[in-house]
Structure 1
Amino acid sequence: MPPVARLHRLRKAIRSWIGQNSSGLAAAVLTLTLATQAQAAGLPRVASINVCTDQLLMTLADPAQIVGLSPYSRDAARSWAAAEARTYRRLSGEAEDVLTLKPDVVVAGLYMKRATRQLLKRQGMRVAEFDIARSIDDVKAQIRRMGDLVGHPDRAEAQVARLDAAIARARKAVARKPYRVLALSRRGWVSGDDSITSALLSITGLSNAAAGLGSHASGFATLEAIVADRPDFILISDGRDVAEDEGSALLLHPALEKLYPPSRRIVIPEDLTVCGGPMLPDAIDRLVAELKRVGG
């Protein structure tokens, strides 16, 4: 049986084995075994030092190809694939441990620490830098790019098709009215037209209300400005009625609670929108479900 076919066959068994043998020694032994399999198959070994490239990598690569993931890969609030990330080595995000592991490719975010990326390049590492995805076209391009990097363009095309199918479903259920929606986060951070959240809103016929606050770009808005502009809905990542800290307390301010009860709050978890990638079909389906809930 060809090496690549053996890797596909082992994929499910490998993840099950890791889950049953969660000690650090077992994970290390299995990582070494998988690395040998990846080399035999002629596939690149890849390290990721960014939470968004983590998720692309886990979706498109064989387990044997994944040398390690970023420090935030297991953060369930940020990573859609946090549970799966626990089966891989967690890197520090600095250059030293990446250099020790000697991957064929390092994937990184364009806006992470520049010194780390430059050091890896000076040491002869191939570093593939991914920008922030701001549109659906950006997302598709990044999925395809990662698919090419790991040697699985077919899997990338399958993910693009999955995204297209979710978009088609959403457009059949577009909002009956062109509601204005303000995507609002901690401390009054507003997602502007240059965000993947804004792209998701437009798919369902909604408009981003950020422009009504005087800017098309992402940035902070005051409570007074939000209340004065009065968008039809606010989009938030947490629908609970308890604030964990001062940053999230703004979302439960009495003025906002009065104007935006649960029936005027669209809730999409942050792990579905913080990155552009294989989680977006789930984000789109969630947005459609939320619109039905609030009567949009």
Structure 2
Amino acid sequence: MRRLAAVAAAAWLMSYAAASAAGPRIVSMNVCSDQLVLSLADPDQILGLSRFSRDAWQSWAAEQARNYPLLSGEAEDVLLLKPDIVVVSLFDKRATRDLLKTNGLHLVEFTVPRTLDEVRDQIRAMGDVLQHPDRARAEIARLDAAIARARAAADGHHYRVLPVERRGFVAGRSSLISSLLAATGLRNAAGELGLDAGGFASLEAIVKLRPDFILVSEAGDRAEDEGRAFLLHPALERFYPADKRIVVPERLTVCGGVMLADALDRLTEELKRVTR
């Protein structure tokens, strides 16, 4: 359903965007679509980005985003900009989306991808919306090459990997992280905990599971809050020291997009480190 929605939206907007030789002027209201737009658009096509676009912890393109105006998240500033296209997500407020539509703006909605195939579809769809399909094809090729490198680093070992976040949250079998691991020949051990959509796992359950590695978003020994302290618990550090931890920054995996190529290259480096 997500795949069909993204493709249908792109097909509808292709005919609209084709009327502008310079490419449509665009506003993005979501941090994930921000990164797609920044990767594929010409600079003068971008009129504004979401209020979270400069947050380095969740945006791979935070520095690049500093070159563009920030939006408030409300409809008023978008209406003043008069963009050709507004990119939104289903997480943006319905009232805001409805108001923009009522005022005649063209909206395209991108959902949250859960698989690498859906990521490819969204990159392709955004390339069509922005009239840069060649750039989208290049980014998809870069993603596929990164997958191949990570698969080679995994070397057919089919390691069991458990993605563990702050406070013990585990990304489930139907998550984008799980799809990323599977594409490289690794296996998300969350299924052994009965977690499909994801959920919290106790310290005891994680220790008892004994995956080959845990996947975390940061290294280091500082706990600035209780969420981070969970990952530094003595029991976890005993069973999962540095050589049992694969570290991939959250900003590379929180969204589905071109940054996943960088996430996979980081995964490749980490696999080489922990298996040498």
Give TM-score, length-normalised by structure 1.
0.83
Residue 218 (structure 1) aligned with residue 198 (structure 2):
yes
- Equivalent residue for 1:8? none
Matched letter for residue 31 of structure 2: V
Q: Is the 8 A contact 1:193 1:208 kept in 2?
A: yes
Output the CA distance in 2 between the equivalents of 1:127 and 1:67: 15
Question: Over residues 126-178 of structure 1, what are the superposed CA-to-partner deviations in whole Å (9 max), with x where a residue is unaligned?
Answer: 11111111111101100011011111111111111111111222222224422
Output the CA distance in 2 between the equivalents of 1:288 and 1:141: 24
- Equivalent residue for 2:36? 56
Matched letter for residue 137 of structure 1: D
- Equivalent residue for 1:193? 173
Output the CA distance in 2 between the equivalents of 1:151 and 1:40: 9
Question: Over residues 70-94 of structure 1, what are the superposed CA-to-partner deviations in whole Å (9 max), with x where a residue is unaligned?
Answer: 0110011111111100000011111
Residues 170 and 56 (structure 1 numbering): CA distance in 2 closer, same or farther, change over 3 Å?
Answer: same
- Equivalent residue for 2:270? 290
- Equivalent residue for 1:27? none
- Equivalent residue for 1:21? none
Q: CA deviation at 1:68?
A: 0.3
Matched letter for residue 263 of structure 2: A
Q: CA deviation at 1:209?
A: 0.8
Q: Is the 8 A contact 1:175 1:204 kept in 2?
A: no
Tell me the C-alpha RMSD between the 2 structures.
Answer: 1.5
Q: CA deviation at 1:121?
A: 1.6
Residues 228 and 45 (structure 1 numbering): CA distance in 2 closer, same or farther, change over 3 Å?
Answer: same
Matched letter for residue 95 of structure 1: A
Q: Is the 8 A contact 1:47 1:69 kept in 2?
A: yes
Q: Is the 8 A contact 2:189 2:211 kept in 1?
A: yes
- Equivalent residue for 1:260? 240
Question: Over residues 32-84 of structure 1, what are the superposed CA-to-partner deviations in whole Å (9 max), with x where a residue is unaligned?
Answer: xxxxxxx9844211000101100000111101110100011001111111110
Picking from 235, 250, 254, the partner of 2:230 is 250
- Which sits farther off after the overlay, 108-117 or 242-251? 108-117
Output the CA distance in 1 between the equivalents of 2:150 and 2:168: 28
Question: Over residues 188-213 of structure 1, what are the superposed CA-to-partner deviations in whole Å (9 max), with x where a residue is unaligned?
Answer: 11111222211121122110011111
- Equivalent residue for 2:113? 133
Q: Is there any run of 5+ residues in structure 1 with no aligned partner, and where?
A: 1-38
- Equivalent residue for 1:94? 74
The alignment-based identity, stated in percent, is: 62
- Equivalent residue for 1:171? 151
| Partner SS, residue 154 of structure 2 | coil
- Equivalent residue for 1:123? 103
Q: Is there any run of 5+ residues in structure 2 with no aligned partner, and where?
A: 1-18
| Partner SS, residue 140 of structure 1 | helix
Output the CA distance in 2 between the equivalents of 1:120 and 1:40: 21
Q: Is the 8 A contact 2:162 2:190 kept in 1?
A: yes
- Equivalent residue for 2:24? 44
| Partner SS, residue 173 of structure 1 | helix
- Equivalent residue for 2:134? 154
Q: Is the 8 A contact 2:153 2:271 kept in 1?
A: no
Give TM-score, length-normalised by structure 2.
0.89
Structure with the bigger RCO (C-alpha within 8 Å, sep 6+) is 2
Matched letter for residue 252 of structure 2: L
